[in-house]
Chains A and B, each alone.
Chain A
C-alpha cells in the first residue's frame, strides 16, 4: 500500500485479556516505531526496529508489552493481561532508515484505539 496501515482500527477488550495490534509499514522502509498516545498526552515512544538489528525496547512500560517484526516488514505489538491504564491509541510509524538524516521522515499510520473495560 501507499502508506502505513494498522489493524484493527479499534479494539475493545476486557481487563486481563491479551491483545495483538498489527502494523504494516511502507514497503522498503527498514525502520519501524511504536508510540502510545494516552488521553490528553503526547505520543510516548515504546519500541524501535531497525533492519535486522536487535530492537530498542527502552520505552516499553512493563514486561506485559512485547513486539516483534517478522521478515523485516510487518510488526505486531502484544499486550498481555491488559489493564485499564493500557487504554490508549497505539500509533506505528516507519521510515526509510533509522539514521539521523534530516530527510528521514517518519510516516505514521492511523493508529489502533484500544479500550480496556
Chain B
C-alpha cells in the first residue's frame, strides 16, 4: 500500500517570502501522480499543482512549483511571493495510474502567513 508523509505540522512565512513544504511517499509503483491540495477554513479542497511521475520536469503553476525527486520519493511544494491568502492547510496526495482512482493523503501542513 502507498503511504504519504508530511513531517511539518506547521510552517510560517512572511508575506512576499518563499516557503517550501515537504512531502515524502512510499510506493512500489513506477507510474503514478502526485498532487498538492490547499484546504482553506471553508474546508473545500482546492487542487494547487500536480505532477506525473514519468515526467522529469518539475511542474509549475504561477507562484507554486514542485521539486520532484523520484528516486528519493520526495515531492516538495515551493510557494514564492507568499500572500495572506495562501494561509491554509496543504495536503500532499498520491494517486495510482492504474485501477480506480482514490487519492492517498498525507496528514497536512498548516501554513501561516504573517504581514
Contact = CB atoms under 8 A, between A and B. Distances in A.
Contacts of B4: 42
Contact of B43 (A91, A95, A105): A91
Contacts of B105: 35, 42-44
A110 B102 contact: no
A52 B43 CA distance: 29
B78 to A, nearest CB: 21
Interface string B99-110: 111111111100
Interface residues of A, number: 29
A110 B91 contact: no
Contact of B100 (A89, A98, A105, A110): A98
A27 interface: no
A33 interface: yes
Contact of B44 (A44, A98, A108): A108
B101 A45 contact: no
Contact of B107 (A31, A40, A93, A95): A40
A41 interface: yes
Contacts of B99: 100
Contact of B98 (A100, A102, A108): A100
Interface stretch (B13-21, B45-53, B68-76, B79-87): B45-53
A98 B98 CA distance: 10
A31 B42 contact: no
A75 interface: no
Given A50-B100, A113-B43, 18 more contacts: A42-B91, A42-B107, A43-B91, A43-B103, A45-B102, A48-B102, A56-B100, A59-B102, A89-B43, A100-B101, A102-B33, A104-B101, A108-B44, A108-B45, A109-B44, A110-B43, A110-B44, A111-B43
